[in-house]
Amino acid sequence: MVTPNDIQNKVFSNAMRGYNKREVDEFLDEITIDFQKQLDENAKMAAEIKQLNAQIEESKKTQQSVANTLEQAKRLMSDISESAEKRAEVIIKNARLDAQTITRNAKDSVESLTREAELLQRKISTFKADFRDFMQKEQQKVEDNVDDLFSDLEGELNHSGVVSGQINSLDSLERELKDLPDAEDILAKAEQKALESEKPEEDMDRTKVMNRAREPEEIPEDLSRTIVMDRSTLSHTDFDFRGEEPAGRREEPASEEEDFLKKIDEEVETYRPSQTGAPRKEPAFDDKAKTIVVDEKEILSRLK
């Protein structure tokens, strides 16, 4: 292959009537320059071609890789598609099974709740009926017993009135006794005289003993009309509470004393509760009848 150097160094022989040497040299110089340019361009083109070939090869490799990738992608897509279809089928199947299970459970729950609601409704109806019967029975009982209840209430009110009267009577007696400072002294002296009259060596009848018991004392006129005497006090007097003769004496009591004691017994019997439980007369003594209220002047007149 002719190179630019070969053209530049080419030597021609001389001949007659030959070409102008200067013109030939200039032309050769131009050819050398152009040829060098062509060679440079060819070299450049060859480099470019080589580079392009390399790129083509790389592109081919890339294309192959892409093709392989595409193939793999196709296979993967196919696998994914198949897997997705299978998964979709599985999911759909499971969803159907779950839906059937949920529907069945819902139906069972609805049936169970319906049965429970019906049972609860029956219980409520039964409870209402029982409660209505109970209220009717209780109302009937109240209506049947209302008269008895009012009677009992009236009895309690009457009893409270009796108790209040007893308390007022006792308070009145207490005030009257406080206003009698000499009554106890009179009774004490009467007791002492009665005890002295019971000595064995004295043989007196009941009337004389009673006279001796009253002789030293004068009966004040300003005493209250009533005093309270205990049974034990009456038992120490010259006559027994029941009108019987005291132990150790044989004389029969005078008829006047018997009448007096009988009157006391009748007075006590008047204050005793009747068969209904209520006292026949408002009492002025405790519930065991240990003390009674009698007229003081009458007792003193009986002791004369």
Side chain identity, residue 247: A
Residue 18's pLDDT is what?
Answer: 72
Q: Which helix (H) or strand (E) holds 229?
A: strand 226-230
More confident residue, 22 or 185: 22
Give tens-digit pLDDT for 94-111. Answer: 888 998 899 889 989 899
Cβ atoms of residues 194 and 235 within 8 Å: no
Q: Where are the domains of the chain?
A: 180-303
Find how far residue 62's CA is from the centre of its chain: 85
Residue 71's pLDDT is what?
Answer: 84
Mean pLDDT score, 226-255: 47
Is pLDDT at 242 greater than 60 in this prediction?
no
Share of the chain above pLDDT 70, in %: 43
Confidence of residue 165 (pLDDT cuts 50, 70, 90): low
DSSP state of 248: T
Residue 269's pLDDT is what?
Answer: 58
Indicate the average pLDDT of the chain.
67
Phi first, then psi, for residue 228 (nearest 5°) are -105, 125
More confident residue, 251 or 120: 120
Helix (H, G, I), strand (E, B) or coil at 204: coil
pTM of the model: 0.26
